[in-house]
């Protein structure tokens, strides 16, 4: 590496974008710029057309033609734990791009659930347009700049931008040079991050999260939402059993949130009664903290707790979607897995809660109404969450005697997705479990239903989740 780039590493990319006095442009900076980019005259940025031609294409490039990445991406970036991302807080983001492709990429990122709270705008114009725009306007929390410039020309314009930026504004540069030295210089000058194509929406979101996700609370458990394609297909039963399988098989802390506030069955399925329930948290979401959660949650096993529903009809639960978001955010900061049991209704809060989850499970039965509703849910979720995996489909209650059913192959063809699990109709096992307040594994561990629940739990955790079987003596003593 050239001596011109030999800087110390004691920088904090989360600091506001302000050029330090000792790093203001001078003859040395001009010399460095000229050394890096002989074809650019210091102080004279190339016209936009030239810049656009220099920028590599977005998307997935051929690995044989792309240089080794400038910076190896952290396998667990800030705000992402085991592939789980915390949402970016409510901030304003303004992007000034040099190519329509970049505007489109940022537009796609803005639709992602992780940026749902942020206000994002993107337009063409690049760095010169940003400088001109903020001569008379207040700057947002974050400015994204696309620029193909290097050397003194880039630093001069960044100094002009710094002069019009409000205190606290941060800047991310999308550039063209895969250059460690340039990256280090930009960071030293207060830039929060420097990205180079090929660049995806998700990479950009992770870069923004690195800056704004609370470093004191980086942990975020995985949120999985279960919803039935129609009433009575067993979505709640699956949600409760899969949560139990995760807690017992993977020995991972798990919380079930029963969000069917009027008719929820989590308390019944686990034979638990509690005077406190999730309604108390949703009524005053701003008061929810670790102490209150400890008081409101009902502990079922060492690794499993449930947020029971009020399950009464003396109150109409018409709450702001933000209340659900606040409570779920607090809960996911305490355990690795959060299972949401959503009611079969369609409202603002159900839609926003469902699409904000890390994983969606749609439970259907093999009939026409269920197929129609499952397809509507699947297509809408897939279109609204382009950076996430499509919902997983479970077909339940297959083989009901004397009931005409849609064959699974035809069901999958019409839906446009293969089910990850098909469960047979086993009314005796499910009925006994429901009446006794037990899980399927506890009633009949070698049943197809128990095997299927274990398989689905494994898909959600990434490793097998088969709980150990208790011996006869352990069952008598109530241990194991």
Give the CATH number, domain containing residue 335.
3.40.50.300
207, 351: one domain: no
Burial 221-243 (b: 16+ CB within 10 A, else e): bbbbbbbbbbeebbbbbbbbbbb
Are 338 and 284 part of one and the same domain? yes
Q: In the chain, what percentage of residues exceed pLDDT 70?
A: 78
- In this structure, is residue 165 part of a structural domain? yes
Same domain, 312 and 377: yes
Q: Report DSSP state, residue 43.
A: T
Provide the residue range defining the domain that includes 304.
Answer: 222-477
Q: Is 61 contained in some domain? A: no
Domain identity same for 253 and 121: no
Statement to judge: residues 349 and 374 lie in one domain = yes
The last residue of a domain, from among 177, 212, 247: 212
Using the 3D structure, point to which of 164, 185, 212 is the last residue of a domain. 212
Residues 178 and 272 in one domain: no
Let me know whether 246 and 103 are in one domain.
no
Burial of 312 (0-12, 13-18, 19+ CB in 10 A): exposed
Check if the beta carbon of residue 107 is closer than 8 Å to that of residue 205.
Answer: no
| CATH number of the structural domain spanning residue 171 | 3.40.50.2300
Which residues of the chain have a pLDDT value below 50?
Answer: 1-14, 20, 22-83, 471-480
Amino acid 74: pLDDT:
36
Q: Tell me: do 257 and 388 sit in the same domain.
A: yes
| 248 & 386 share domain | yes
Residues 251 and 149 in one domain: no
Residues 25 and 109 in one domain: yes
pLDDT at 350: 96
Decide if 121 is inside a domain.
Answer: yes
Tell me: do 95 and 234 sit in the same domain: no
Q: Domain total for the chain?
A: 2
- The proportion of the chain whose per-residue pLDDT surpasses 90, expressed as a percent, equals 48
Q: Please check whether residue 257 is in contact with residue 310, taking contact to mean a CB–CB distance below 8 angstroms.
A: no
């Amino acid at each position: 590496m050239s001596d011109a780039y030999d800087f110390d590493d004691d920088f904090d990319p989360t600091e506001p974008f302000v050029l330090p006095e000792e790093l203001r442009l001078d003859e040395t900076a001009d010399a460095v710029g000229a050394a890096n980019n002989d074809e650019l005259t210091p102080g004279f940025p190339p016209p936009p057309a030239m810049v656009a031609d220099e920028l590599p294409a977005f998307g997935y490039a051929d690995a044989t033609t792309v240089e080794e990445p400038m910076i190896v991406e952290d396998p667990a970036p800030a705000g992402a734990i085991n592939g789980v991302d915390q949402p970016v807080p409510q901030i304003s983001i303004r992007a000034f791009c040099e190519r329509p492709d970049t505007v489109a990429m940022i537009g796609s990122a803005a639709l992602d659930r992780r940026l749902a709270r942020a206000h994002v705008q993107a337009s063409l114009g690049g760095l010169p347009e940003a400088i001109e725009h903020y001569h008379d306007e207040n700057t947002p929390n974050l400015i994204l700049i696309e620029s193909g410039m290097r050397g003194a020309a880039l630093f001069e314009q960044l100094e002009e931008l710094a002069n019009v930026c409000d205190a606290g504004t941060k800047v991310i540069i999308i550039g063209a040079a895969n250059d460690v030295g340039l990256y280090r210089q930009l960071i030293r000058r207060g830039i929060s991050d420097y990205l180079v194509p090929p660049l995806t929406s998700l990479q950009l979101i992770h870069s923004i999260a690195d800056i704004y996700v609370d470093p004191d609370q980086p942990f975020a458990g995985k949120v999985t939402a279960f919803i039935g394609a129609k009433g009575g297909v067993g979505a709640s039963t699956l949600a409760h059993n899969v949560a139990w399988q995760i807690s017992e098989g993977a020995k991972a802390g798990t919380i079930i949130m029963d969000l069917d506030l009027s008719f929820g069955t989590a308390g019944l399925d686990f034979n638990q009664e509690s005077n406190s329930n999730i309604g108390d948290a949703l009524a005053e979401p701003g008061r929810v903290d670790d102490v209150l959660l400890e008081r409101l949650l009902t502990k079922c096993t060492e690794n499993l707790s449930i947020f029971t529903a009020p399950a009464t009809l003396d109150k109409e639960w018409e709450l702001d979607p933000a209340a659900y978001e606040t409570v779920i955010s607090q809960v996911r900061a305490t355990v690795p897995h959060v299972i949401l049991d959503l009611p079969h209704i369609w409202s603002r809060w159900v839609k926003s809660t469902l699409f904000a989850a890390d994983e969606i499970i749609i439970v259907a039965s093999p009939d026409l109404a269920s197929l129609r509703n499952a397809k509507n849910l699947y297509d809408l979720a897939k279109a609204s969450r382009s950076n996430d995996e499509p919902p997983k489909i479970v077909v339940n209650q297959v083989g009901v005697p004397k009931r005409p059913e849609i064959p699974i192959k035809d069901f999958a063809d019409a839906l446009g997705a293969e089910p990850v699990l098909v469960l047979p109709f086993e009314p005796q096992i499910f009925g006994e479990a429901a009446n006794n307040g037990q899980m399927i594994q506890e009633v009949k561990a070698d049943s197809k239903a128990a095997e299927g629940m274990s398989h689905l739990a494994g898909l959600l955790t990434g490793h097998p989740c088969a709980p150990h079987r208790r011996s006869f003596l352990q069952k008598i003593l109530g241990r194991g």
